[in-house]
């Protein structure tokens, strides 16, 4: 049994009156027993933790959709500590895609950006919504931890009372933090005992102890963190130790991390080591990342992680490393990951390399289409110009289709004018025209103009299949202009098949005018 004396410290403000009285009692000489309990390690973090940030980084690379592009932009703004713009970006995601399956992710990081601005009440409101609407979210645990952290600032008695249900655990954590500040050596000895195999402490308390070790132990904590990373049977604690090692040890622990990677069998721990190399830098870390990225015997997860970290490293060799791997490797998934990095990297040579892959007529068609999609995610007129050039020179119909879709992702009058031109081109490729029609009406920022354009196009068009596609596109909007056009076609169009098509689409509408028209048709 270990007895530790502690003093009152800043975290007292976080835990309410009952806990505060206990902490003050500790300051007066009351002993507490540091033992088992349950309190989130995120209790200590002012910024997003490494695992939390890594989880978000991995998530935003899973898709190239317009919605995911917004989340990536929000991530980049968070990384630059531009909290207000980040909050606006996540708010834009929620308002633009209110039914999207990833609204919970946007809510969590919106709350985080608001918290960083001192807007605690607004942050708590977003977290409460997340937990209410997405109780099974992968971010529920983090949201609960942040809510508890915000409770004293918001004055939310329910949240404060919920946290006070674990007064003993809170006090033990506060006592350990106090001991780290007054006697780091003694605190590290205690943590070493808590983290030994067979310890009776709960995992969450061990995580809290490990977090404090990394935050307060400085270089003195390196030997203990190394021992935990190598020998701790709990994989989650080993993951946390690896992250803390990189934070505390820097370049001095790179060789140790390499040895841990080589001896490790758990893929998640190995990925954690690779991610740690992003922060520590140096030629040895770079060499190990290149080795893993090029190792065709390694798992796809490890190779992809190595590629991502190489691309995220802030050194002049990142692009050359990615190009060399891309040129030498045949794995299509890995090549797509590298194309993603070319698209996201700030170095203008990344854009040039992406464009080179997209326009190469002798290249793999799937990779070319992927590169075109990523050009659609790039902001600015340079990307629009490149897409124009590819479209003019391209002969592969599927690549041309992808170019049109990519232009549709750009908020550019020139791109929209080109899509309009393709939609109107009589005698042009029907599939291209159908794609252009869909893009024009799916552009929510210009829906009214798109509807007007398609109404005019329907009247001038002679291709029955394209006219049917236009009706479908009009029916998918909530526009009154579109509804009136469907009613007009259903009543008067000389093509019976198109009239039937319009009637069928009106049956999908919940508008009373559509229902009234259908009832009139049914009258004898």
Instruction: Report the chain's mean pLDDT, rounded to a whole number.
Output: 79
* 42 pLDDT tier (thresholds 50, 70, 90): very low
* 28 pLDDT tier (thresholds 50, 70, 90): very low
CA distance 106 to 94: 7
More confident: 267 or 181:
267
* 46 pLDDT tier (thresholds 50, 70, 90): very low
Whether residue 33 is predicted with pLDDT greater than 90 in this model: the reply is no
Q: Do 108 and 86 touch, CB atoms closer than 8 A?
A: no
CA distance 64 to 371: 11
* 146 pLDDT tier (thresholds 50, 70, 90): confident
Whether residue 20 is predicted with pLDDT greater than 80 in this model: the reply is no
Whether residue 167 is predicted with pLDDT greater than 50 in this model: the reply is no
Say which residues have a Cβ less than 8 Å from residue 473's Cβ, sequence separation at least 6.
437, 438, 440, 441, 442, 454
Q: Do 483 and 471 touch, CB atoms closer than 8 A?
A: no
Whether residue 87 is predicted with pLDDT greater than 90 in this model: the reply is yes
Delineate the domains of the chain, giving CATH numbers in brackets: 1-38+167-216 (no CATH), 42-164 (1.25.40.10), 430-522 (no CATH)
CA distance 429 to 131: 48
Give the pairing of strands 3-4 and 32-33: antiparallel
The number of CA neighbours under 13 Å toward the Cβ of 16 is: 23
CB atoms within 10 A of CB 377: 21
CB atoms within 10 A of CB 137: 18
Which range has the worst mean pLDDT, 105-119, 147-161, 222-236, 510-524? 147-161
């Amino acid at each position: 049994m270990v007895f530790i004396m502690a003093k009152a410290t800043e975290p007292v403000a976080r835990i309410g009156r009952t806990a505060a009285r206990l902490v003050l009692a500790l300051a007066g000489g009351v002993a507490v027993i540091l033992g088992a309990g349950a309190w989130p390690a995120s209790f200590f973090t002012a910024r997003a933790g490494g695992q939390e940030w890594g989880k978000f980084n991995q998530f935003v690379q899973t898709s190239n959709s317009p919605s995911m592009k917004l989340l990536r932009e929000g991530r980049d703004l968070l990384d630059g500590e531009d909290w207000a713009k980040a909050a606006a970006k996540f708010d834009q995601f929620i308002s633009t895609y209110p039914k999207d399956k990833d609204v919970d992710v946007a809510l969590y990081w919106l709350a985080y950006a608001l918290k960083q601005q001192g807007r605690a009440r607004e942050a708590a409101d977003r977290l409460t919504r997340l937990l209410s609407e997405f109780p099974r979210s992968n971010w529920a645990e983090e949201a609960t931890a942040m809510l508890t952290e915000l409770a004293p600032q918001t004055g939310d008695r329910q949240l404060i009372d919920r946290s006070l249900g674990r007064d003993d655990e809170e006090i033990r954590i506060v006592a350990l933090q106090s001991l780290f500040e007054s006697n780091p050596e003694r605190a590290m000895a205690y943590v070493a005992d808590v983290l030994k195999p067979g310890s009776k402490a709960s995992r969450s308390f061990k995580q809290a102890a490990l977090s404090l070790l990394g935050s307060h132990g400085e270089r003195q904590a390196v030997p203990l963190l190394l021992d935990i990373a190598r020998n701790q049977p709990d994989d989650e604690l080993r993951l946390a130790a690896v992250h803390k090692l990189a934070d505390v040890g820097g370049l001095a622990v790179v060789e140790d991390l390499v040895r841990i990677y080589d001896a490790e069998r758990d893929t998640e721990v190995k990925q954690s080591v690779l991610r740690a190399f992003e922060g520590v830098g140096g030629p040895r870390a770079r060499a190990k990342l290149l080795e893993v990225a090029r190792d065709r015997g390694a798992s796809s997860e490890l190779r992809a992680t190595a590629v991502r970290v190489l691309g995220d490293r802030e050194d002049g060799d990142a692009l050359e490393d990615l190009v060399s791997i891309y040129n030498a490797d045949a794995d299509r998934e890995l090549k797509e990951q590298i194309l993603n990095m070319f698209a996201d990297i700030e170095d203008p040579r990344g854009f040039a390399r992406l464009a080179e892959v997209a326009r190469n007529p002798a290249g793999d068609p799937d990779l070319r289409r992927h590169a075109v999609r990523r050009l659609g995610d790039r902001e600015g007129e340079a990307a629009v110009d490149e897409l124009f050039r590819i479209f003019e020179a391209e002969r592969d119909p599927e690549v041309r289709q992808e170019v049109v879709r990519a232009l549709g992702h750009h908020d550019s009058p020139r791109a929209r004018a080109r899509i309009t031109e393709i939609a109107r081109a009589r005698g042009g490729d029907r599939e291209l025209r159908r794609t252009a029609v869909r893009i024009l009406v799916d552009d929510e920022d210009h829906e009214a103009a798109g509807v007007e354009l398609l109404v005019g196009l329907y009247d001038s068009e002679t291709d029955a299949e394209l006219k049917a596609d236009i009706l479908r596109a009009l029916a998918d909007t909530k526009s009154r202009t579109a509804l009136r056009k469907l009613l007009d076609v259903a009543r008067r169009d000389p093509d019976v098949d198109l009239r039937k098509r319009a009637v069928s689409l009106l049956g999908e509408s919940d508008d009373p005018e559509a229902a009234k028209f259908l009832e009139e048709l049914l009258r004898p």
